[in-house]
Amino acid sequence: MEPNVVGRFAPSPSGYLHMGNLLASLLAWLDCRALGGTLIFRMEDLDPARSRPEYAAAAAEDLRWLGLDWDEGWPDPAYAQSRRGALYEEAFERLRAMNLVYPCWCTRAERLAAASAPHPGEAVHDPGCPCARLTRREREERFRSGRRPAWKLRMPELAVSVDDGHYGLVSQNLARDAGDCIVRRADGVYAYQLAVSVDDLLMGVTRVVRGRDLLASAPRQRWLIETLGGAAPAYCHSPLLTSGAGKLSKRLGSLSTQALRQTTSPEALVGRLAFLCGLRETDAPVTPRELLADFDWARVKTEDIEI
Ligand code: GLU
């Protein structure tokens, strides 16, 4: 058994959890429990416009209903990203002191035009905007205009690899393959890459298990955590569930757990997930605890799963 294993669930309460979220959560639970670790429930309610308390409560209820427990976390406010702004601010100021962030006055439309289309599993590549190259004087002039800038992280020309526990080696040149990314929006809200890295660092997370659409973010998160003086966790990404329309998504209104709960039992749903991902050969009811006995990542599929 590895010492001090810490895993986490990190849902975003921007909609009801769907089956893809449940599969990632089940695998995070199995991974952590199989290693005798501590599991944290962190609420990623960063974006005030998209997060709703009823989705947060439903996410916790859904995981409990499924039979997944955790040791610490939400609703303790210390585990809600919306309450952790001071910690993100502190990390941001440290990055600023290292000259790793710069203000960006581009509009959202300009930023999107500068980035290639996002595909599941790929980073939105931002080749850098004119704001990255402003002189000190130009910058001061823009600050004087009164329009508040967003802040971007300046990615270095640096090769960073993550040896993913399920997908193997992911190597990126951060400047070329990941690109600069927003860490603080113009409205002051901190962005995903910064918040998740700061949280994984400060919460002592040693194993990150989540959907493989975030695999391409792992090298920059590793770099960010190490730049802030921490040790990066091990990453282990899980296959995505897809339907005709692509990856299941809360935004697309994919079948929610709340709806599934009306027609199925938790054991039947766990059994279905275990069958779909390759942990069981038949689609039969099972509990998460029963799956623990012979849990092995080697049996989990790597290709995405059509449902
Ligand atoms: N909050 C993210 C989501 O629900 C997951 C972030 C992560 O696991 O790093 O998609």
- pLDDT tens-digit series, residues 84-136: 999 999 999 999 999 999 999 998 767 665 544 344 444 455 556 889 999 99
- How far does CA 110 lie from the centroid of its chain? 25
Per-residue pLDDT at 250 exceeds 90: no
Architecture of the structural domain at 86-192: Alpha-Beta Complex (3.90)
User: What token pair was written down for 61?
Assistant: 């209820």
Instruction: Please tell me if the domain spanning 6-81+199-306 has the same topology as the one spanning 86-192.
Output: no
User: What token pair was written down for 103?
Assistant: 């203000």
d(CA 119, CA 15): 21
Query: What is the per-residue pLDDT across 45-73, written as a single tens digit (0 to 9) for each?
Result: 999 999 999 999 999 999 999 999 999 99
Which residue ranges make up each domain of the chain? 6-81+199-306, 86-192
The pLDDT value given to residue 123: 47
The pLDDT value given to residue 252: 62
Helix (H, G, I), strand (E, B) or coil at 97: helix
Query: What is the per-residue pLDDT across 272-303, written as a single tens digit (0 to 9) for each?
Result: 999 999 999 999 999 999 999 999 999 999 99
Q: Name the residue at shortest CA distance from atom 6 of ligand 1.
A: 10
**Pocket lining: 12 vs ligand 1, CB cutoff 6 Å:** yes
Superfamily of domain 6-81+199-306: HUPs (3.40.50.620)
d(CA 57, CA 121): 28
Report the atom number in ligand 1 closest to the C-alpha of 44: 1
The pTM assigned to this predicted structure is 0.93
The pLDDT value given to residue 111: 66
**Pocket lining: 210 vs ligand 1, CB cutoff 6 Å:** yes
